[in-house]
Amino acid sequence: MATFSKVAVIGSGVMGAGIAAQIANAGVRVLLLDIVPKEGGRNSVAEGAIARALKTDPAPFMSAAAARLVEPGNIEDDLARVAECDWIVEVVVERLDIKQALYRKLDALRRPGTPVSSNTSTIPLKTLTEGMPDAFVRDFMITHFFNPPRYMRLLELITGPATDPALARRVADFCDVALGKSVVACHDSPGFIANRLGVFWMTSAVTEAPLHGLTIEEADAIMGRPFGIPKTGVFGLMDLVGLDLMPHVNASMQGALPPADEFHAVNRDVPIARKLIETGYTGRKGKGGFYRLNREGGKRVKETIDFATGEFRPERRADLPELKAAGRDLRALFETPGRVGAYAWKVMGHTLGYAAKLVPEAADSILDIDEAMRLGYNWKHGPFELIDQVGADWLAAKLRADGFAVAPILERAAGRSFYRVHEGKRQYLGLDGAYHDVVRPEGVLLLEDVKLTQKPLLRNASAAVWDVGDGVLCFEFTSKSNALDEPIMTLLQKTITLVRDKYKALVIYNEGRNFSVGANIGLALFAANMAAWAQVEALIATGQEIMQKLKYAPFPVVSAPSGMALGGGCEFLLHSSAVQAHAETYAGLVECGVGLLPGWGGCKEMLGRWSTDPKMPKGPMPAPMKVFEMISTAKVAKSAAEAREMGILRKADGITMNRNRLLADAKRRALSMVDGYKPPEPREIVLPGPSGKVAIEQAVQGFAKLGLATRHDIVVSGELATVLTGGRTDIIDIVKESKLLELEREGFLRLLRTPATLARIEHMLETGKPLRN
């Protein structure tokens, strides 16, 4: 992988600061430069951007340590320091004269061969480099990040005919491996890929909704889940992006696209949108947009604009039986009589037709178009995957009936699909009319590809086991939300035996949105309501037994989480030989939030880690207090880096920035541990006993007096304190793992029998939110 030790980011606005933060998240030093303000310190613009980023939610930085890697400066005093940097990223205002004046200064100061890129989304590369020296043109490219840069995985890379291919590859590799981006190569065409298509789709959706007699809620319901698009739909997305940005983006498209382009037909004035912008309703960053939160009278009422009256009214749930009738059949939705089907077709049908025209204008292949929309706009399926759902022939015929010119690639797909699986490989239809293998970048291993070539070695309703090669098995959760249940534990038991007898190592990994949201508390609630206490106790005991077997297995066990790893999911990480975590891993022991304790050894493992931390003060009390603070508040790490700070990940555990590289990295880690592997020795921990429990309970009582802890919080905290201090021993004592597991099990069962905990579980299942009782 190409490595950069220092990067200059010039421009510290929202995007510039976000790009700087993500580079720092990769452990790379950043020089962040901006103008010298008329008032304040000379570096105050860049300093202010860093300070705001540290307060922003969602956070641009993955840790406070990452923020310390960003050094603020200014263009007047510090521009010559770009000579220290291995890559220069320009993120200044979208004015050609300002950009080119900066480029001329940079060209005189940078080291020869240093790549320079712009984050522009509106100015073509050809225009940016016009009149620039040949050496600069050779080293120049566009790296178009999406907002927010930490969380949006798409990066569009645009090069020109004179760009050095090796240098572009170096930048692309760094953005892929170090920054975690899926790099999509785009042609130097207006809007590149994602915004070209996304703006067409959004503009069409907004202009057509009132024409079809739809409310905003109805339009978002149609454009959302039926197509695998986030439930925010279009109007919610516009609020997120900012209504005031759209006129500028649309004007840019209007001026750059040829007169015959279909965009001009959908780019019509929407009076209600204009009125919202004029009155300060620019989206979530302002007073609201198409949606707003009305806080009058101390209430929080979500409202939306009414197309008919132009006034805000309380949001209403969209009741569209047509969507339920069509189900997942997109062709049925398009053919549904009335306003619902007509709107779906006019917006999405035409968007799919427009997408087909972008090959080869904006990209070389359908793969690039689909990847850009999946990652840039969070579509579950790319446009060509959606076309396969309705059929290319059918789509082409319906477009012709509308007078919409059909793209050549759509004609070429007649009687065929754009994607197919052939001899265990996924293939796509190329411009030449032939199918080509989908080739993954080196270092990428996906379970979805493995599944094309084999059947699982073991499987039940909640899990499956796959052979990922070189003697490594992959255990995959497949239950709803990857919630942990008895079938998972049963299959893990069999898997441990299988690996011990025939394989080298085990990786626990899946490609769901979340690693695991924890144990299936709905089953626990059902069992409690049925008074099936023996069943609950057996599930806790089985979970503890499996976790111990994973920890002390005679082979390496590597957990590879991404997304949420909560409760029992976090306990899997704590009992693994090693963890290779995606950078966006959100882990924590959250059971106290529903009135329970970690029951599968989470308390035990966290105590063990913090009691042996060389930075902790001496004595038996600091570790229990530290662990109590995290578990009692159900604290969740907001990144893998933060999980390491909390002790959920160890210093030796790895972090993978690119989600697509996680399985390969985890497999590599497991194989590196095989030779000479020995499981850890059972641990004994010195704990403070009853006096320690009293100290913790006194602290909780203090919080209760301040109104920060409820009556049931006190009960839950008491049970947690019992576990963390070692139970009812008379003095400071050495406590074995088995004793801590027993205390966890007993405390869990006592709490599950309380009406207050059952109420919390029921409320969480119904609303997804914690109940304070």
* Segment 212-247, tens digit of pLDDT: 999 999 999 999 999 999 988 899 999 988 898 889
Residue 731 has what pLDDT? 58
- Which residues share a beta bridge with 643? none
Q: How confident is the model at residue 3 (pLDDT cuts 50, 70, 90)?
A: confident
Q: How confident is the model at residue 401 (pLDDT cuts 50, 70, 90)?
A: very high
Residue 732 has what pLDDT? 64
pLDDT tens, residue by residue, 149-176:
999 999 999 999 999 999 999 999 999 9
Q: How far is CA 268 from CA 195, 279, 309, 707, in A?
A: 18, 20, 20, 54
Phi and psi at 116, nearest 5°, equal -125, 130
**pLDDT above 70 for 1:** no
R_g of the chain, CA atoms, integer Å: 28
Kindly report the three-state secondary structure assignment for every residue of 380-441: CCCHHHHHHHHCHHHHHHHHHHCCCCCCHHHHHCCCCCCEEEECCEEEEECCCCCEEECCCC
Residue in this structure with the two tokens 């979970």, named with its chain if needed: 543
pLDDT tens, residue by residue, 729-752:
555 678 899 999 999 999 999 999
**Nearest by Cα to 647 from 609, 703, 698:** 609
Residues 63, 211: Cα–Cα separation, whole Å: 47
The structural architecture, per CATH, of the domain 447-590+636-677 is Alpha-Beta Complex (3.90)
Taking residue 469's Cβ as centre, other Cβ atoms within 10 Å add up to 12
* Weakest mean pLDDT among 107-121, 526-540, 593-607: 526-540
Share of the chain above pLDDT 90, in %: 88
Mean pLDDT to the nearest integer, 423-439? 96
Q: At what angle do helices 521-529 and 533-551 cross, to 10 degrees?
A: 150
Residues 374, 29: Cα–Cα separation, whole Å: 30
Kindly report the three-state secondary structure assignment for every residue of 474-504: EEEECCHHHCECHHHHHHHHHHHHHHHHHCC
Taking residue 14's Cβ as centre, other Cβ atoms within 10 Å add up to 18
Residue 767 has what pLDDT? 87
Tokens of residue 457, six digits: 């070695």
The distance of Cα 683 from the centroid of its chain, to the nearest Å, equals: 36
pTM of the model: 0.95
**pLDDT above 70 for 116:** yes
Q: How far is CA 567 from CA 57, 355, 390, 473, in A?
A: 23, 42, 41, 24
Residues 579, 594: Cα–Cα separation, whole Å: 27
Tokens of residue 414, six digits: 């007649």
* Cα end-to-end distance, the chain, whole Å: 52
Q: How far is CA 295 from CA 298, 415, 692, in A?
A: 6, 55, 45
Residue 240 has what pLDDT? 87
Residue 245 has what pLDDT? 86
Share of the chain above pLDDT 70, in %: 99
3-state secondary structure of 505: strand
Cis amide bond preceding 690, omega within 30: no
Q: How confident is the model at residue 769 (pLDDT cuts 50, 70, 90)?
A: confident
pLDDT tens, residue by residue, 623-649:
999 999 999 999 999 999 999 999 999
Helix, strand, coil share (%) of the chain residues, nearest 5: 50, 15, 35
Phi and psi at 293, nearest 5°, equal -110, 110
DSSP conformational letter for 35: P
Residues 269, 340: Cα–Cα separation, whole Å: 22
3-state secondary structure of 684: strand
**Nearest by Cα to 70 from 19, 32, 43:** 32
Structural domain boundaries of the chain? 6-186, 194-420, 447-590+636-677, 595-633+687-773
| CB-CB contact of 352 with 387 (8 Å) | yes
Q: How far is CA 773 from CA 333, 521, 588, 599, 755, in A?
A: 45, 18, 22, 22, 10
Mean pLDDT to the nearest integer, 540-561? 97
Topology classification of domain 6-186: Rossmann fold (3.40.50)
Residues 117, 101: Cα–Cα separation, whole Å: 15
Q: What is the CATH code for 194-420? A: 1.10.1040.50
Q: How far is CA 516 from CA 368, 480, 570, 572, 591, in A?
A: 30, 9, 8, 9, 14
E-assigned strands of 637-683?
Answer: 654-656
3-state secondary structure of 604: helix
Residue 285 has what pLDDT? 81
Cis amide bond preceding 58, omega within 30: yes
3-state secondary structure of 681: coil
Domains 6-186 and 447-590+636-677 agree in fold = no
| CB-CB contact of 555 with 507 (8 Å) | no
Residues 508, 478: Cα–Cα separation, whole Å: 12
Q: How far is CA 252 from CA 35, 121, 192, in A?
A: 26, 10, 12
Residue 730 has what pLDDT? 58
Q: How confident is the model at residue 298 (pLDDT cuts 50, 70, 90)?
A: confident
